[in-house]
């Protein structure tokens, strides 16, 4: 399978940098797939599950199919190179389920309170991130 260079960056770390065979990212209009020779584009990533397939010689934690729980961000494809910038990127095993549950409850409570637009949007983002973390914590890809 043809490969393309991928830089997958979270706010706090370089999640992955190297060759990639395919990438699926959650965009505002649905799950979006990327392969080598993709046309140039940009898209807004939402909280959810991203999946990357890397070559067998580039195993990531022993796997070539990597499931990543991401927060909001963007994907940019330009001249065959792919850049993913997200606020958070976690492997399902890294997720603290109790912490995610508490974050979801806190964000839901904040959404019910009267507040300004900025605070509402922050709470909405936190709730969607927490719900994605809970949804994919024990979900495995086939």
User: In CATH, what number does 4-90 get?
Assistant: 2.60.15.10
The three-class DSSP label of residue 103 is helix
- The structure tokens listed for 70 are 């991401």
User: In CATH, what number does 95-136 get?
Assistant: 1.20.5
Contacting residues for 70 by C-beta, under 8 A, at least 6 apart: 10, 25, 26, 45, 47, 48, 49, 50, 84, 86, 88, 89, 90, 132
User: What is the pLDDT tens value at each position of the chain, 142 positions in all?
Assistant: 899 999 999 999 999 999 999 999 999 889 999 999 999 999 999 988 999 999 887 767 667 888 898 999 999 999 999 999 999 898 877 767 777 778 777 777 777 776 787 777 777 777 777 777 666 666 655 5
| Dist CA 36 CA 6 (whole Å) | 10
- The structure tokens listed for 83 are 């850049």
pTM for the full predicted model: 0.75
With tokens 């990357």, the residue in question is 52
| Dist CA 80 CA 54 (whole Å) | 16
**Domain ranges, ordered by start, for the chain:** 4-90, 95-136
**Taking a C-beta distance cutoff of 8 angstroms, is the pair 8, 53 a contact?**
no
- For 22, other C-beta atoms within 10 Å of its C-beta total 19
With tokens 């605070």, the residue in question is 119
3-class SS letters over 64-102: CEEEEEECCEEEEEECCEEEEEECCEECHHHCCHHHHHH
């Amino acid at each position: 399978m043809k490969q393309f260079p991928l830089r997958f960056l979270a706010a706090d770390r370089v999640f992955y940098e190297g060759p990639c065979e395919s990438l699926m990212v959650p965009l505002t209009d649905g799950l979006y797939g990327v392969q080598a020779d993709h046309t140039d584009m940009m898209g807004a990533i939402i909280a959810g599950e991203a999946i990357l397939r890397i070559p067998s010689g580039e195993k990531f934690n022993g796997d070539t199919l990597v499931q990543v729980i991401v927060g909001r961000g963007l994907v940019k494809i330009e001249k065959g190179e792919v850049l993913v910038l997200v606020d958070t990127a976690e492997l399902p095993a890294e997720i603290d389920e109790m912490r995610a549950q508490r974050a979801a409850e806190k964000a839901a409570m904040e959404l019910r309170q009267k507040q300004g637009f900025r605070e509402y949007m922050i709470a909405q983002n936190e709730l969607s991130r927490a719900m994605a973390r809970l949804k994919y914590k024990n979900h495995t890809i086939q």
